[in-house]
Structure 1
Amino acid sequence: MPVYTMSCFKLPNKLCKEVTSIFANYWWGENDGRNKMHWCSWGRLAKEKKEGDLGFKDLQNFNKALLAKQVWRLISKPNLLVSKVLRAKYFNRDSIFKCKVPKCASWIWQSMMNVRDFVQNGTRKKIGNGKATNIWEDNWIPGNKDGKVTSARP
């Protein structure tokens, strides 16, 4: 699998389907001009191992997960060189969740911005001393649907 490429770039859906097709051909392709036996459906092969199946990955979701990991690294490790470079170029004044994506952005940045909503939905802000927290706008309440205050503003 092209894991390194998938962790840097969003692969086109067509390419993910072609790679999945190659996997399926390996299992169900032909051997000496005869089709191989289809012992079970592809959906069953793609179920998780803990459910007793083979655990093949859905490549589109796996691609999103790897890109989301890169977004999380930008947030959690701001002192890395790549974090400093991307912050200076794309989101110097805003949060990574609020910045605009310029039309001239690199393919890596566009790919990461494609999954930032997934990361935002799964994160909660750590309060600390509270100076950098906007209690009405930030996601900070654990266990709440969107992490925001549900009561009306005064």
Structure 2
Amino acid sequence: MAIPTYWLGCMWLPDTILQAIEKKARSFLWESGAGRGLHLQNWNTVMSSKAEGGLAIRKLKEAKAALLGKLVFKVLNRQESPWVKLLRAKYGELNPWSPSVPARASWVWRALVNTAVMIRGGCRKLIGNGRTTKAATEPWLSSVSWNRQPWQMHPRLMNEELLVSDLIAEARGQVDRMVGNGRLTRR
């Protein structure tokens, strides 16, 4: 299973192909030359760890997500490696919240975008100064439920181009005005 694992780390293989590979692995273990065989163990037992009595064969669908997720993490965190620099120079930023794949994108970039979309539910964006975080389309408030997010409560925030830095600047201006009017005092 080493060859499929290599390709899982750099290509988005369809689930049908992964199922076909696992079917071949099962038939290798269980079938004789005549296409028949005796199933001595359940496939889930075979795939369990060696400590649990299995052969530690990975579930390919889960391995695909883990291996490509590691590459997505490197791209999102701007790792200083040549392949990340090359992909960012050619395709720009990888944004899991508004993914776009150019028509002539490489299979590696397509795999990264597909994986980013798959794992985005568990991701949150750190806003820093807020100049690169869109307030309405990117999850930046991790402790607030979806229906209580600011864009769900105020129609002005539905503007897809509104940045978190705009909200920070507006809030700072309101505090400054309140201090200037004497409604709020600094301690």
Please give the TM-score of this superposition, normalised by the length of structure 2. 0.63
Bigger drift between 53-62 and 106-115 goes to: 53-62
CA offsets 1:103-150 (integer angstroms, 9 cap, x no match): 11111111221211123211111233444444443212335566x826
Q: Does 1:16 align with 2:15?
A: no
The residue type paired with residue 41 of structure 1 is N
Given that residues 8 and 64 in structure 2 are in contact (C-alpha distance below 8 angstroms), is that contact kept between their aligned partners in structure 1?
yes
Matches of residues 99-114 of structure 1 in structure 2 within 5 Å? 99-114=99-114
Matches of residues 73-84 of structure 1 in structure 2 within 5 Å? 73-84=74-85
Q: Which has the larger radius of gyration?
A: 2
What is residue 27 of structure 1 aligned with on the other side? 29
The residue type paired with residue 5 of structure 1 is W
What displacement does 1:7 show?
0.6
Matches of residues 23-62 of structure 1 in structure 2 within 5 Å? 23-30=25-32, 35-46=36-47, 48-49=48-49, 52=52, 54=54, 55-62=56-63
What is residue 88 of structure 2 aligned with on the other side? 87
Given that residues 135 and 149 in structure 1 are in contact (C-alpha distance below 8 angstroms), is that contact kept between their aligned partners in structure 2?
no
- Are the structure 2 counterparts of residues 50 and 34 from structure 1 closer, same or farther at C-alpha, using a change threshold of 3 Å? closer
What is the RMSD of the two structures over their aligned residues, measured on CA atoms? 3.3
What displacement does 1:44 show?
4.2
The residue type paired with residue 106 of structure 2 is S
What displacement does 1:9 show?
0.9
Given that residues 76 and 94 in structure 2 are in contact (C-alpha distance below 8 angstroms), is that contact kept between their aligned partners in structure 1?
no
Given that residues 71 and 119 in structure 1 are in contact (C-alpha distance below 8 angstroms), is that contact kept between their aligned partners in structure 2?
no
Matches of residues 118-129 of structure 1 in structure 2 within 5 Å? 118-129=118-129
Return the alpha-carbon distance in structure 1 between the equivalents of residues 139 and 60 of structure 2.
Answer: 29
What is residue 141 of structure 2 aligned with on the other side? 141
Unaligned runs of 5+ in 1: none
What displacement does 1:101 show?
0.6
- Name the structure, 1 or 2, with higher relative contact order (CA <8 Å, separation 6+): 1
Aligned residues with identical type, % of pairs: 25
Bigger drift between 36-45 and 109-118 goes to: 36-45
The residue type paired with residue 29 of structure 1 is E
Higher relative helix content? 2
